[in-house]
Amino acid sequence: MHHQKTEHTKQGEQRDDQEEIMKVLQKSTRVFIEEKRMCCCR
């Protein structure tokens, strides 16, 4: 019973990690695009 609870928690944490990774990726992609635009403007 306790083991099942831990597994469920682990899955929840994994989902949170994926969401965090997606946020970071979107943020870095936006920064990369902005930097590219700056380079083009120069």
Q: Pick the residue with more confidence: 16 or 1?
A: 16
Q: Pick the residue with more confidence: 10 or 35?
A: 35
Handedness of CA 26, 32, 35, 40 (dihedral sign): negative
Write out the two tokens for 6: 């831990």
Write out the two tokens for 38: 């700056």
- Residue 40 pLDDT more than 70? no
pLDDT at 14 (0 to 100): 80
Q: Pick the residue with more confidence: 22 or 6?
A: 22
The pTM of this model reads: 0.50
5-29 average pLDDT score: 83
Residue 20 C-alpha from the chain's centroid:
3
- Residue 34 pLDDT more than 70? yes
